[in-house]
Chains A and B, each alone.
Chain A
Amino acid sequence: MLTRGLFDKLLWLALLVLAAALVLVVVRAAGSSESAGSKVLDKAMERAMTYQSRVALIRELYGPVETLLQAGQDQSALLKLAEIEKTYPGEAHGQILKGSIQARLGAIDEAVASYATGVKLRGDYVDKENPLSRRTEIGRVVESGLQTVSARLAANPDNRTAQATMKQLYYLQSRLAGGCE
């Protein structure tokens, strides 16, 4: 007959055995470099590798555009971007490069719209430490844009293009300011 006292003693014993087993399992796993479980679960490593692959793919994909840009062939670079966009629609990097070219050509409204679209798609471009960061470049465009576009708006408050650009500028300004996003 299993009395309550004996049952309780068995439960305490089971608790001790389970605790000892837990410690043993953890200590053995920590001492072993070939723990199959940790390999399966190392999501952080997988995540880092995926990200690096993405950066490498972007550099390869948009390499020709960068080359054209360095050669000062902005129009050809825009055409190349349009060509890539057909294969990879909605890719943020293309929008950022487009913004960069448009800013160089002085098309501020279009540049701001492209930058805003790119940053909305991927916030990497406004990070301080990111291999894809374009923070300084975007910050410069936002700073000059806020002055020129607000002057245009002051002269003509009903200018819808300027209103839309101002909204995008505030968005970019907010993203550059930081926050938990």
Chain B
Amino acid sequence: MKIVIEHLSVQYDDGTESLRDISLTIPANQITALFGPAGGGKSTLLRALNRLNDLVDGVRVTGRILLDGEDIAGPGVNVTALRRRVGMVFAQPVPLPMSIRQNITYGLELAGVRERAKLTAAVEKSLRAAALWDEVQDRLEAPATALSGGQQQRLCLARVLALEPEVVLLDEPTSGLDPISTAKVETSLQAIKRDYTVVIVPHSVQQAARIADLAAFFLQGELVEAGPGQQLFLTPKDQRTNDYITGRFG
């Protein structure tokens, strides 16, 4: 078990609750999909896993998140080190305003890596893992913004992989992409799960069903049910899950 979430709740200062008493176990080297209608708390959970909620004022997190048995939700955690272990790909691809190569090496340089050979190797390795190398190997010095939307999103994935994290979080990574680019991203996710633990908020039930080894259904801040993807999408236990995946709401 890579991540064990115990009684996690996230509240805002104004009293609204984003997550209520979530307990979930995320296995290593599998794709875990958190799905459900908007406002269910999926992104909040992702952001709790690498402490990006810290950037928002007035968020209160209670409960525990154990990464390899070590609590990462409490105070006193080295959050910059944590974020290198738990990387994040956002819904909107945001290439940093620099070259393709610099986008990849940015995180490593922040971590203090200076050796040229190491950086060069990381660029090729991570771009290959994100299935982007063949398309950009001749123009690594070009500005990253010159890439298409689909390429930018794979660059963002490569940028995370370059840090060799243990967990990769993806928040609707294909919501802005065409079907072909989406398929490419999904293929690279299937490929990288051998080396990484993947947690994704898919942008549709269909995508969840396609790629989830483990699926968890969230509704209004509550975890309704979780289980192996095959079983959850074919024979959901909870009526609400059934209604959602058969398209009765959402």
Q: Do A and B bind each other?
A: no
Which residues on B are within 8 Å of A, measured CB to CB?
none
